[in-house]
């Protein structure tokens, strides 16, 4: 079966993942994310090679139906010679069994859907069949060694192809302003939710949003934590850095702001380079590999009360960009991904950005991504 799938994929000119997905009723959020994941080359190959089958974990609470239906859907999207849109109904049946919040046909949030989907896929192909007992202990080591030990402890429980691709490690530092003692905590992350920076003039860049996310915050008043050394509540400085960058970095732009009366949507224009996004200034260790290329975007148009999701994706087989709108798709120029104020009408503002680290080995040659100065 694997050989047949690969031969069809390699020999068919039409089988390039260029296919729409039927909207089953307010499922545009799901279709947008599925198109982004379909164009995630490593995950696509994992499904096309049927590599997921050797990792299926029969101890999973949902058995392995979600991973199998997801793989079938990806295989259909990449091997079908038909121009007809594919129905993701069987996949939807399984994702709503795993996460009942997706039962029915209400509008949902794409970021939440991606979180639940990756968690479900991970659980079904987790290489760890029996998790070690006890909580993850804290280590009294130098930060770099402590981070590595905490990551190793995490992998003793959570180890899958999904984790290999999508999970990074965040470092949180808390420094007492009284005695200078610094405590550190290391946590895994599947995505980073970035606040959108506010500027009185000029354009907002993604780097502005990253700097706002990682800027040092003062914890005072009711927020004062207890200092480990002082044994008393003290004013502290808190700061985030990235200890370990994932191969696939998912950035979520927090476009919905909650107020006392209602939630509003921020349509701020955010500048973004499609290639060579250098995030090393946010790394705990500046020598980290943290220069990313964009390959997929999930867009949301509309308001907090209702809207529509679409996707822009760079096809990993031909290097071209396409926009996906449920059943429809068409080729676009990279410049079309921009959300410039001068556009009439402007494209929908991105809410999720998927970026990959370029491979370091020549045998894993990546198709070139067209250059673009901004995506928003």
Q: Which residues have a Cβ under 8 Å from the Cβ of 192 and sit 6 or more positions away?
A: 170, 213, 249, 250, 251, 252
Cβ atoms of 215 and 275 closer than 8 Å = no
Determine the Cα–Cα distance for residues 35 and 325; give it in Å rounded to an integer: 10
Q: Which residues have a Cβ under 8 Å from the Cβ of 136 and sit 6 or more positions away?
A: 150, 153, 154, 157
| Residues with catalytic function | 28, 308
- Name the 3-class secondary structure at 344: coil
Beta strands 350-356 and 291-302 are antiparallel
Determine the Cα–Cα distance for residues 266 and 303; give it in Å rounded to an integer: 9
Can you give 144-202 as a three-state secondary structure string? HHHHHHHHHHHHCCCCCHHHHHHCEEEEEEEEECCCCCEEEEEEEECCEEEECCCCCCC
Beta strands 236-244 and 168-176 are antiparallel
Determine the Cα–Cα distance for residues 320 and 328; give it in Å rounded to an integer: 16
**Helix, strand, coil % over all residues of the chain, rounded to 5:** 30, 25, 45
Determine the Cα–Cα distance for residues 178 and 163; give it in Å rounded to an integer: 39
- Name the 3-class secondary structure at 330: strand
Cβ atoms of 273 and 373 closer than 8 Å = yes
Determine the Cα–Cα distance for residues 110 and 298; give it in Å rounded to an integer: 8
Cβ atoms of 125 and 56 closer than 8 Å = yes
Using CB atoms within 10 Å of the CB of residue 233, give its burial: 0 to 12 exposed, 13 to 18 middle, 19+ buried.
middle
């Amino acid at each position: 079966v694997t050989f047949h799938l690969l031969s069809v994929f390699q020999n068919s000119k039409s089988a390039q993942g260029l296919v729409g997905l039927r909207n089953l009723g307010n499922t545009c959020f799901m279709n947008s994310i599925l198109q982004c994941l379909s164009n995630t080359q490593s995950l696509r190959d994992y499904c096309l090679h049927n590599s997921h089958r050797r990792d299926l974990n029969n101890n999973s609470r949902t058995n392995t139906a979600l991973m199998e239906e997801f793989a079938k859907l990806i295989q259909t999207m990449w091997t079908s010679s038909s121009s007809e849109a594919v129905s993701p109904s069987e996949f939807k049946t399984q994702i709503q069994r795993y996460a009942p919040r997706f039962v029915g046909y209400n509008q949902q949030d794409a970021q939440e859907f991606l979180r639940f989907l990756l968690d479900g896929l991970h659980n079904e192909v987790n290489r760890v069949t029996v998790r070690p007992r006890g909580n993850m202990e804290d280590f009294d080591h130098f930060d770099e060694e402590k981070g590595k030990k905490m990551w190793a402890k995490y992998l003793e429980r959570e180890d899958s192809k999904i984790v290999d691709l999508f999970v990074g490690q965040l470092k949180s530092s808390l420094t007492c302003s009284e005695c200078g003692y610094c405590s550190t905590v290391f946590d895994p992350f599947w995505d980073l939710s970035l606040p959108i920076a506010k500027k009185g003039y000029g354009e907002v860049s993604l780097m502005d949003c990253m700097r706002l996310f990682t800027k040092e915050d003062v914890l005072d008043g009711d927020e004062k934590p207890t200092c480990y050394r002082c044994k008393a509540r003290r004013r502290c400085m808190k700061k985030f850095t990235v200890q370990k960058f994932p191969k696939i970095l998912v950035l979520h732009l927090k476009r919905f702001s909650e107020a006392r009366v209602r939630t509003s949507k921020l349509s701020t224009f955010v500048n973004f380079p499609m290639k060579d996004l250098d995030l090393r200034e946010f790394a705990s260790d500046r020598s980290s590999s943290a220069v990313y290329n964009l390959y997929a975007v999930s867009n949301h148009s509309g308001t907090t009360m209702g809207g529509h999701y679409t996707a822009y994706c760079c096809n990993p087989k031909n290097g071209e960009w396409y926009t996906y709108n449920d059943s429809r798709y068409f080729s676009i120029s990279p410049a079309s991904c921009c959300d410039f104020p001068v556009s009439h009408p402007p494209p929908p503002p991105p809410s999720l950005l998927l970026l990959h680290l370029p491979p370091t080995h020549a045998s894993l040659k990546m198709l070139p991504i067209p250059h673009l100065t901004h995506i928003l």
